[in-house]
Amino acid sequence: MVVHALPRRLTKAVAGTVTSLPRIATALTELRDAAKHLERLATFAAEELPEIVYQLEGIREQLTRIEDRLGGRNGEVSPAARRTGSRPPS
């Protein structure tokens, strides 16, 4: 009896494997597409990051100049800070 059940189990296992192949192929295709998309995103980020760093450094320099103009020597702005003679903002 055990000998007769073995071929049936093997047949079921092979049939299950064959019917799952399209789902496996679909999943692999989706994984490949996701990997390509991640590669494009990484390339974009690698190209844009130096420009972003350059722009942030420029903004930092502008803020430092504004801070120096507003605060005088120590960079603090307070009601007791020395006035520059410019009009107050409206």
Neighbours of 3 (CB within 10 A): 6
3: three-class secondary structure by DSSP = helix
pLDDT tens digits, one per residue of 37-89: 999 999 999 999 999 999 999 999 999 998 888 876 554 556 655 666 556 55
CA distance 3 to 9: 11
Write down the pTM of the prediction. 0.46
- In terms of average pLDDT, the best of 11-15, 19-23, 79-83 is 19-23
Residue 14 pLDDT? 79
Residue 75: CB partners within 8 Å, gap ≥ 6?
A: 67, 68
Residue 82: CB partners within 8 Å, gap ≥ 6?
A: 72
